[in-house]
Amino acid sequence: MSFLSRIMDVKSKAHFSAGGNNNKAAGTGQAFEGTRKRSGSQARSRVAVMICCFGMAYAVIGGRLVQYGMASSETVSSIGPADHLMASRPDIVDRNGEILATDIRTVSLYAEPHKIVDADEAVEMLATVLPDLDRRGIYRKLTSKSRFQWLKRQLTPKQQSRILALGIPGVGFRPEKRRFYPGGATASHIVGHVNIDNRGIAGMERYIDSQGLADLAAIGMTSDAKLEPVRLSIDLRVQAIVREVVKDGMERYKALAAGAVVLDVHTGEVLAMASYPDYDPNNPAEGAKEGWMNRMSNGTFEMGSTFKSFTTAMALDSGKVKITDSFDARAPIRIGGFTIKDFHGKHRVLSVPEIFQYSSNIGTAKMADVVGIEAHKAFLTRMGLLTRMDTELPEVKTPSQPREWKKINSITISFGHGVSTTPLQTAVAGAALINGGKLLNPTFLPRTREEADEIAKVVIKPSTVDSMRYLFKLNANDGSGRRSLVPGFNVGGKTGTANKVVNGRYSNTQNFNAFLSGFPIDDPKYVVLTFIDAPQTGEAGGRTAGSNAAPMVGEIIRRSAALLGVKPKFGEDGSALLVSY
């Protein structure tokens, strides 16, 4: 084969070889392009999945933020209108509808310690709004492992607003109820007060809870409906007068305490009652030392010569003594090492009216002796003076008496020593002496005369009542009660000046004075009793009941009689009419 032929043959093979390689390259390109398409599709799918996951995560986060925002709007809220607030306790109103106690809306500050970022900073910030905050105590709460802690109860709207502005994470507010007493201390011992959880712990507030409200609240069965107000027998206008007179009397006569009550003799309703010192139920802690003590119903005292009213009534009612009888009061009574004598003795034979008028211990003791020890004890028990008084007010103390009544006990008790009872039940027993002889448990709730007649107990005869009205008027006109007189209102009553027991012995320098009165005495409607504990002075420099307790009664009647619906009686010449029997 020639050289030229060989060359052509080589070219031909080379050409064939090149054509085969080109075909292989084309097949490989097509395969690569398919793989790339598949990879891109998978990548797009992965991106879409990731976008969906992120979208779902952000949706969950957004949903939780909305949830927290809604929760925040519930707990960290401004104080809303009172009209939208459920009253957890009923309003307390007086007999004329004046509000004595009501619920108002407030908020309390709380913390969730697990959400607190910096406890030290939180304490410092809160202290700028609440300077009296217990910093150590709050720090311990904020760093505790609990999930909820109260920080401050019952904030003012201004305090809430300022704390909100601080923006402290982990603290919030919860709406609560706060009891508000518009009259402050005016009727504190009657209305009482509640604790921080709005539960009644004294006075009529406690009584309301005892009627089932507290039990319903404890098991969560309180109603959303507004509760009907609880209406009391109190007349807020008269109550304000009585408290002012009592407060002024204590300060004027430089006494340790004072008190008074106005009682409807036919229904047993308490129209007003005050004991001083008292306290403001809006801030009861400030009065905890002296003010919480309700001396009218929860303090027992030897009532002194006011008890001569009951001894005289007992003697007359027994039939063993007549109002025309007389007793020898010339010499003191000596018994068991004791000497019974008169404070201002007349040293002569005294009639029953004179014994009452001159407040003779000797004459009174002899009348009790005629009746006898057992009958004496039975009479005072019948009058409700030796047993615990039954009324709505929770603060009621049981009277004290000798374990065994002997003659010496009966003699001293006849003129008000040896038995301690409450001023309120003395007034209740006194009402029975002038209202027709009916004993009625006192009430702080409205009671009609018909309702009272159904539960009244007749304890003395009508003839005894007539005699006691006469004696009360005699003592007011011509005896120790002259400073209680108010022209036109025919006041009658009996003073009582008792030596106080100090360190187990009767003191000659400290008295417990009282005045038991009724008006108008010709047709009694109200009993007014006042007391003053350990006065240092009185009208015209005296320290006896006639110079301080009696003037307090006169002031109460003078200012409140018109409000109580009692019209004065005057003659044609303008002078006050006197009672005739």
Torsion (CA) 213, 216, 222, 227 in degrees, nearest 10:
-20
The residue length of the chain stands at 581
Nearest to 576 by CA among 519, 514, 534: 519
Q: How far apart are CA 482 and CA 546, in angstroms?
A: 7
Q: How far apart are CA 26 and CA 62, in angstroms?
A: 54
* H/E run at residue 554: helix 549-560
Task: Name the DSSP letter for residue 329.
Answer: -
Q: How far apart are CA 362 and CA 126, in angstroms?
A: 71
> In sequence order, what DSSP letters do the residues of 55-73 get, joined into one string?
HHHHHHHHHHHHHHHHHHH
Q: How far apart are CA 318 and CA 412, in angstroms?
A: 19
Contacts of 513 (CB under 8 A, 6+ apart): 304, 495, 496, 497, 498, 531, 532, 533, 535, 543, 544, 545, 548, 549
* Tokens representing residue 252 in the block: 């004027």
What type of residue is 289?
Answer: K
Question: CB atoms < 10 A from the CB of 322, how many?
Answer: 11
Q: How far apart are CA 391 and CA 384, in angstroms?
A: 12
Q: How far apart are CA 13 and CA 22, in angstroms?
A: 15
Q: How far apart are CA 73 and CA 80, in angstroms?
A: 12
Q: How far apart are CA 494 and CA 427, in angstroms?
A: 11
Tell whether omega for the bond before 113 is within 30 degrees of 0, i.e. cis. no
Q: Which residues are catalytic?
A: 305
Q: Please list the alpha-helical segments (H only) found in 358-422.
A: 361-371, 373-382, 407-414
* H/E run at residue 454: helix 449-455
Q: How far apart are CA 303 and CA 306, in angstroms?
A: 6
Residue 366: C-alpha distances to residues 326, 351, 361, 414, 462 (Å): 10, 12, 9, 9, 24
Contacts of 384 (CB under 8 A, 6+ apart): 425, 428, 429, 439, 441
Three-class secondary structure of residue 507 per DSSP: strand
Torsion (CA) 22, 23, 28, 31 in degrees, nearest 10:
140
Q: How far apart are CA 177 and CA 282, in angstroms?
A: 13
Residue 371: C-alpha distances to residues 297, 314, 377, 522, 570 (Å): 30, 8, 10, 28, 41
Contacts of 504 (CB under 8 A, 6+ apart): none
Q: How far apart are CA 206 and CA 294, in angstroms?
A: 14
Q: How far apart are CA 527 and CA 435, in angstroms?
A: 10
